[in-house]
């Protein structure tokens, strides 16, 4: 659906809050009630960085989730 986005306008992001995330037995887990912190990634690149995970190694999923 990336092609359906209107790239002439900014995507309406506020602060992205990130929960604690861990990789365990081939699964990604997060604790939504845990202490949240502001994300460090570029909000403008969120969709593109997520789409790049399609061909990324497993470790990249954890790094993306923590960012």
Domain that holds residue 54: 2-66
How many whole angstroms separate alpha carbon 22 and alpha carbon 20?
7
Please tell me the pTM assigned to this model. Answer: 0.63
Per the structure, the count of domains in the chain is 1
Q: CA triplet 25, 27, 33: central angle to 5 degrees?
A: 115
List the chain pLDDT tens, one digit each, 67 residues: 445 555 666 655 577 788 888 888 888 888 877 788 888 877 778 888 889 999 999 889 889 888 8
How many whole angstroms separate alpha carbon 8 and alpha carbon 34?
36
């Amino acid at each position: 659906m990336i092609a359906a986005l209107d790239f002439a306008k900014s995507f309406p992001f506020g602060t992205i809050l990130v929960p604690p995330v861990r990789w365990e037995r081939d699964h990604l887990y997060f604790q939504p009630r845990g202490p949240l912190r502001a994300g460090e990634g570029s909000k403008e690149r969120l969709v593109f960085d997520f789409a790049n995970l399609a061909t990324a190694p497993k470790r990249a999923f954890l790094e993306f989730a923590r960012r």
